[in-house]
Amino acid sequence: MSGVKRLADNRKARHDYFIEDTYEAGIELFGTEVKSIRAGTASLKDSFCLIKNGEIFAHHFHISPYEQGNIFNRDPLRPKRLLLHRREIRRLFEKVSQEGYAVVPLNLYLKNSRVKMEIGLCKGKKLYDKRESEAKRQASREMERVMKQTGSGR
C-alpha cells in the first residue's frame, strides 16, 4: 500500500493469540504524542483494548514523552480512545462478551499522514498451540534452508 509507514508492531500478540478478524482504527491523540510517535517511540507490548460505554480504549499503549514537549506532554500510559464506527464497536463488544475473545492492538502505522492502529479480534492460544506454531515455523525454516543449499549447489 502506498502512503503507509509502519511505526510499531505487536509480535507478542501474534504469538499469544489466534487473530480471527482485524480492524483499522484511528486514535485520538494530542500534538506532542503524534510527534513522539513519528519519532518512533511508541510501544504496543502488553497493550490491550477495552470497550466501555460504547467507546473503545487502548490501555498500556506506551508513547514516550516528546523531548521538546515540556508542559504539553501527557501521561505515557494514559488510555487512548480509538475511533471506530459504532456498528464495529458493537460487533466487537458482542464477540468479547463471549468467553476467550480479546481485542488486541497489532500494528501502529502512518497512513496518509494520519496515525492508525490495526486491532485484532483474538482468541487466546493454549501452550500446546504455541508449541505447534513454533514447530511449524521451525520446519518451514529448515525446509527453506535445505532448498537453498540444494538449489545453489548445482
CA 33 from centroid of its chain's CA atoms: 17
Confidence of residue 11 (pLDDT cuts 50, 70, 90): confident
Domain ranges for the chain = 4-125
The DSSP code sequence of 91-106 is: HHHHHHHSTTEEEEEE
Give tens-digit pLDDT for 18-40. 888 899 999 988 888 888 888 88
The CATH number assigned to the domain with range 4-125 reads 2.40.280.10
On the CB side of 39, how many CA atoms lie within 13 Å of its CA? Answer: 14
Q: Which residues contact 150 (CB under 8 A, 6 or more apart)?
A: none
CA angle 19, 111, 119 (to 5 degrees): 20
Q: Is 7 or 3 the better-scoring residue by pLDDT?
A: 7
Q: Are 90 and 135 in contact (CB under 8 A)?
A: no
Report how far residue 25's alpha carbon sits from residue 84's, in angstroms, rounded to the nearest whole number: 6
Read off the amino acid at residue 63.
Answer: I
Report how far residue 44's alpha carbon sits from residue 19's, in angstroms, rounded to the nearest whole number: 16
Check residue 4 and report its DSSP letter. E
pLDDT of residue 69: 67
pLDDT of residue 94: 87
pLDDT of residue 39: 85
Report how far residue 116's alpha carbon sits from residue 6's, in angstroms, rounded to the nearest whole number: 10
Confidence of residue 83 (pLDDT cuts 50, 70, 90): very high
